[in-house]
Amino acid sequence: MTITDNRYLLNNGIDPLALVEKYGSPLYVYDTAIIERQYKRMEAAFSVPDLKINYACKANTNINILKFLKELGAGLDAVSIQEVELGIRAGFRPEDIMFTPNSVAIDEVSAALEFGVKINIDNISIMEQFGHEHPEVAVGIRINPHIMAGGNSKISTGHVDSKFGISIHQLPHVLKVIEATGLHVEGLHMHTGSDILDANTFLLAADILLNTTHHFPHLEYVDFGSGFKVPYRENDIETDIEEVGARISERFNEVCKEYGRELSLIFEPGKFLVSQSGYFFVKTNVVKPTPSTVFLGVDSGLNHLIRPMFYNSYHRIENISNPAGKPRIYTVVGYICETDTFGSNRKIAEVHEGDILCMFNAGAYAFSMASNYNSRFRPAEVLIHEGKDYLIRKRETMNDILRNQVEVELHTEAMAKV
List, by residue number, the catalytic residues: 337
d(CA 193, CA 184): 26
Candidate segments 38-46, 127-135, 211-219, 221-229, binder of ligand PLP by CB under 6 A: 221-229
Q: Is 134 in the site for ligand PLP (CB under 6 A)?
A: no
Cβ distance 190 to 144 under 8 Å?
Answer: yes
Residue number, 123 or 194, with CB nearest to ligand PLP: 194
- Where helices occur in 116-212 by DSSP H, the ranges are 124-133, 171-181, 199-210
Q: How far apart are the C-alpha atoms of 323 and 187, rounded to whole Å? A: 51
Q: Is 8 in the site for ligand PLP (CB under 6 A)?
A: no
Residue 371's region, left for phi above 0, alpha for psi from -120 to 50, else beta, is beta
Q: Answer yes or no whether residue 357 interacts with ligand PLP by CB under 6 A.
A: no
Q: Considering the complex, what minimum distance in angstroms separates the CB of residue 311 from ligand PLP?
A: 11
Toward ligand PLP, which CB reaches closer, 8 or 99? 99
Q: Which residues pair with 281 in a beta bridge?
A: 27, 358
| CB closer to ligand PLP out of 56 and 147 | 56
Assess contact for 370 and 395: CB atoms under 8 A.
no
Q: Judged by CB under 6 A, does residue 131 bind ligand PLP?
A: no
Stretch in the footprint of ligand PLP (CB under 6 A) among 30-38, 55-63, 206-214, 314-322: 55-63
Q: Which is nearer to ligand PLP, 222 or 348 (CB)?
A: 222
Name which position in 272, 279, 330, 367 contacts ligand PLP (CB under 6 A): 272
Rounded CA separation 57/76 (Å):
7
Q: Provide the minimum distance between the beta carbon of 95 and ligand PLP in the complex, in angstroms, as a whole number.
A: 18
For residue 110, the tally of other CB atoms under 10 A from its CB is: 15
Measured from the CB atom, the residue of 158 and 343 that comes closer to ligand PLP is 158
CA angle 190, 192, 197 (to 5 degrees): 130
* Cβ closest to ligand PLP, residue 162 vs residue 181: 162
191 Cβ contact list (under 8 Å, min separation 6): 100, 142, 157, 164, 165, 224, 225, 226, 227, 268
Distance from C-alpha of 294 to C-alpha of 291, rounded to nearest angstrom? 8
- Tell me: does residue 58 bind ligand PLP (CB under 6 A): yes
Among the listed residues 59, 65, 348, 382, the single contact to ligand PLP using CB under 6 A: 59
Positions in 227-246 near ligand PLP (CB under 6 A): 227-228
Are 75 and 84 in contact, with CB atoms under 8 Å apart?
no
Min dist. Cβ of residue 137 to ligand PLP (A) = 20
Give the phi and the psi of residue 17 in degrees, each rounded to 5: -65, -35
Applying CB under 6 A, the span of 35-43, 124-132, 269-277, 355-363 interacting with ligand PLP comes to 269-277
Q: Which of residues 68-107 bind ligand PLP (CB under 6 A)?
A: 77, 79, 100
On whether the CB atoms of residues 184 and 138 are closer than 8 A, the answer is yes
Q: Does 361 help bind ligand PLP (rule: CB under 6 A)?
A: no
Contact with ligand PLP (CB under 6 A) among 25, 144, 192, 194 = 194
Q: Judged by CB, which is closer to ligand PLP: 332, or 364?
A: 364
Produce one character per residue of 354-384: b if its CB has 16 or more CB atoms within 10 Å, e if not. ebbbbbbbbbbbbbbbbeeeeebbbbbbbbb
Stretch that binds ligand PLP, among 54-62, 129-137, 209-217, 346-354 (CB under 6 A): 54-62
Member of 225, 245, 308, 363 binding ligand PLP (CB under 6 A): 225
Task: Indicate whether 269 belongs to the interface with ligand PLP (CB under 6 A).
Answer: yes
Q: Does 39 sit near ligand PLP (CB under 6 A)?
A: no
Alpha helices in 186-270 (DSSP H): 199-210, 241-259
* Contact (CB, 8 A) for 274 and 62: no
The residues of the shown chain that bind ligand PLP, judged by CB under 6 A, are 56, 58-59, 77, 79, 100, 191, 194, 225-228, 268-272, 364
